[in-house]
Structure 1
Amino acid sequence: MADDHQPDLLRSGFGDYLSRRKGEILEQWLISVQSDPNLRIADTLTEPLLKDHIPDLLEAFADFLRSGDPATRDDTRQTASLHGAQRWGQGYSIKELMLEIYRLRKVMFQEVVNFAAGQPGELSVLSAACGFVDAFLNDLECRSVERFAEESESGLRKSNAARLGLIRTVSHELRNMLNSVGFAIMRLEGAEPEEMESVRGILERNSTHMKEVLDDLLDLSMVLSRQTSVKLAAFEPSVLLNLVDLGYRHLAETKGLRFGASIKPSLDSIFSDELKIRQITENLVSNAIKYTPAGEVHVSFEDLGPEWWAIVVQDTGVGIAKEDREHIFSEFYQVKSESPLRGSGLGLAIVTGLVDLLNGSIHLESELNNGSVFKVLLPRIRTAQSDNHAGQAQSGAG
């Protein structure tokens, strides 16, 4: 990162200077990024999310200049790599990532000029400090862009594999429905009036089911291909829960079910994609009502501490057998059941995709004929690395 032949005094002095000026450097960089018309994505992030690993990188760089310890340099490179992964998760393009590093470069070189000004041998100091900063920023750019590209390639491979699987399964599903429609049409010829009602019912059910499959398929394909953007903003979860309550309480009570909705008062604010969280909640609540013939459906928003919260949907419905639980979140998977109810087989796959987009995790507890509990763990502030710790939140939540 820096030339080991440079005088230790100059290096350590520049390191001390950068450490003292870190706050001002960050402030100038934030202003530069937020005023750049080509970095509009910065407007969608809170200041802590926008800063991301930059404060740690600046401090690690200053530490390296003061100590010359190679381990500090390795830490800096690892942090730069995490920064690239974070920006990919936040929806940056690779152009935007490089542009924000360019903005940091401009601010840092101005600091070099300020540091060298008035010192003995000003030009030599300026040249040496420029070399330190240039090597640091080249490392930052190289490591973060490399990790960004790796994350992007991995996401593309997963998306392509999922898309091929969808093509196969949806073709099979639609063919079955069309065969049923064709059979019903054949029965229309010479059918008696009472038989016409039966045929009409077949046509209506299959028409409704095909529309449901195609609508859900569109939602799922957008989630899997990441064509749906994550729109981050602060919102009150209590307001969202009230909307879910208003939308589904009547549906449950019409079916003769008790319906409950509750939230911990301490869960007063979330920074995430409100629309996607509502879609997750409504999908789970709708499923619970559909597969609960009697009893109760309850949805709650739980506070799991300063970093995590949970959506919990409980029901007293038909439950899920042990052999079905590991497949329940797969596309088009439907449990073996005597129930006449049939969905698209995509609802829980859509939920899983949305939860993944928001860096959360989903967990299921269920027994056949004894109801189900779906728990979705989500970060209170959505970041690219939150999913690495979802298991810790689960264990902490009990």
Structure 2
Amino acid sequence: MLFKNRILMYNALVLILFVTLIMLMSLNVIKEHSESQFLSIKESIVSYNKKLLTTFIQSQNSNLSKEIKLINIEAKYLAYTFEHVSMKKVKTNNVWISDTLSEVFENRPKYIKAIEYIDISSDIIHRFDDNGYKTNPFKFIRSNFLEKQKLYVVRDDNSHNIKRVYFYEQLTNIKQGVIAIDIELNQFIESLGIQNLDDNFDFTYFLMDENINLITSNPEEFSDNKVMNNYLYNLNEDIKEKIKDKKTGVISIEINECLYNLTFNVNYKTGWYVFLVTPESVINSSYSSIKSYLLSSDDKLINYFILLILTLLFVFLFINSMVMKNLISPMNKLILQARALRDQKYDKAMIKIENKGDEIEGLSYVFSEASSTIKTLIEDLEKKVEERTLQLEKVSQKANEANKKKTIFLSNVSHEIRTPLNAIIGYTEILKENNGIGNKNNRYFNGISNASHTILSLVNDLLDLERIKTDNYELKYKKVKLIKILKDIESIFLPLSIEKGLLLTINTDDVPNSLDIIIDELRFKQALSNLISNAIKFTYTGYVKLEVDINQSDSVLFKVIDTGIGIPEHQLLNIFKNREQVNVEDQQEGFGLGLAITNTILTLMKGNLFVESKLDQGSIFTIELPKETVVNDISYPLFNIEEKRCAKKDFSNLRALVVDDVEFNREILQFQLESFDIKCTLAESGIEAISAIEISDFDIIFTDISMPIMDGVELSKTLKSMNIHTPIIAVTARATVQEESKMNDFFDYYITKPIDKHQILSGLCCALDM
């Protein structure tokens, strides 16, 4: 038998044996591991479904918190209304109480069943409901008034049923009086989106108090709900303690030999629990279909695998046969050529083997060309290095151009977002003032304004990050009292912490009133504010604390400590990256730039930012600044920055020219200037503004930067060439570093859109030197 045929036969036999073994082993492995894989999949599905149920309950808990907060606000409002109405009544007898209750009850929300006035001094309760007015003896217990959210549940002594749910509010001017609001239980049910679920979803839900006693449920809608009620009334103490310890989660329970999943979550404001009971089949519902699908896929995979193996076998035998026919004879010559190339004998290696144009001849040609190419590369190496250098320079130039385009893009983003925000915020303020403070739509206006300022904050974060990462960005150091910075921070965040029910502590005991710190005050406040704002945002109970340690030998430490939700350990390395937010289940609004900006600012100040955190226990963010920060070191570039504080002046005799090509921008600025009694003249373009200036004299000019034909910069240049020196304030929607430099060169002051009265007031004071 010929050598090539023996090789072909041996290769075929080895390949067939190898393929057979691989096929048998693969089938065996698939069968052995299928069951374990299905169990793993089942565990994953059950775990995932439990997380979905937990997340769903948490969202319903949030709805409950919002509803209770709204009811609390309504209780305060009704108490205020009661006092306001009662001031008009003659208090010679109790008739004024019934009349006042009647008038307040008439305008109550529908979910309030009754309004009661408790006279603490006489131990009498005056009640007004749909049945009219009546009085009863009543001993007011002060401890009930101090319960969570001023909410008190009254139960029947002989059953588990609730008689009433009250919200109490102490009257301000009537010291011995308390207003009690009797709330419909259905109001708490309606606040939960659970009742709007698909009818095909088998579930039962309950609202329980802090002692795991029933408040309300959905008994009319499910046949087995009474069984659920009886089970939960008699829930054993071990399960109750487990629920109280975990606060949130999923536990399995057995009712009448049927397995159910009890998903629960505590409301930290009221102490109440939201329970959702679903059959075990809900969590396992998707497993059987997935298993069937996977088994079908495995069968198809095995068939395809066998078909593929057989196809590859025949292809291999065919190719192997074709190659062996022409490979053997010229092999030695090809080996010699390869050895010549290996030994760098390029002249011998470039001799081509003629073999009827087959693969061997092709390899020979490749070796020959490779030899020629290597020889040429060696000779022209220096030239290639020079060419590569030129290429790198071109790449660097393209990178610089891309960076410029990024700056232009940020400027455009700022302009395109700030311009409509100016209209939204401006018109909202106009509507609020025109409609009056007491208008019920004022809440909606506040919602629009808050949402708009949130968008503006996001844009400012992006621009802040761009500013501080600019190569030529410089910090503006000055000497300032450390105690002043701490007091400013306290005044900013104390109302926010009180509103959220948190204790905010700023430890200033070790900080002397005379201690100076040399720093960029604005940027350091921004860094410190970012940390405290995050701490308050992600802390729902407990405290937020700022500690200052100036006694370290080589540094000054500022520690922000909270008892919030904490950060997972595997996320600690990511929190200072751009656009990173951790705690996805509790994700807040924003791009995740706050900590990135803070870290960059502190790096510019030659400081460091550290974090320690444990999940569900809290976090500690530490700012470390160099020790020389707190001494008067003349090596620091001190800037004499005069902070101009402007009180409202009398502008009634001023005339202002407003120049903007967008109508709503002119209207909003005119409205705000006229609130200062300033007379306004409007112009749609720079050319129209010049015409107006030639006819009349103006005390101040407000001009947009981006306008067609003649923009704000050209208008400023033209007025200076006409020897007109009226102060000009630029109004711009762009706020990049490059734009700020341009505005400082051509204008007396500039304000950014969306504009407000504080900006206008500062601009007027500075531009007019008042």
Give the TM-score band, short-chain normalised: 0.3 to 0.5
Larger Rg: 2
Greater relative CO (CA pairs within 8 A, separation 6+): 1
Give the TM-score, by structure 1 length.
Answer: 0.44
Which one has a larger percent helix, Structure 1 or Structure 2? Answer: 1
Give the TM-score, by structure 2 length.
Answer: 0.24
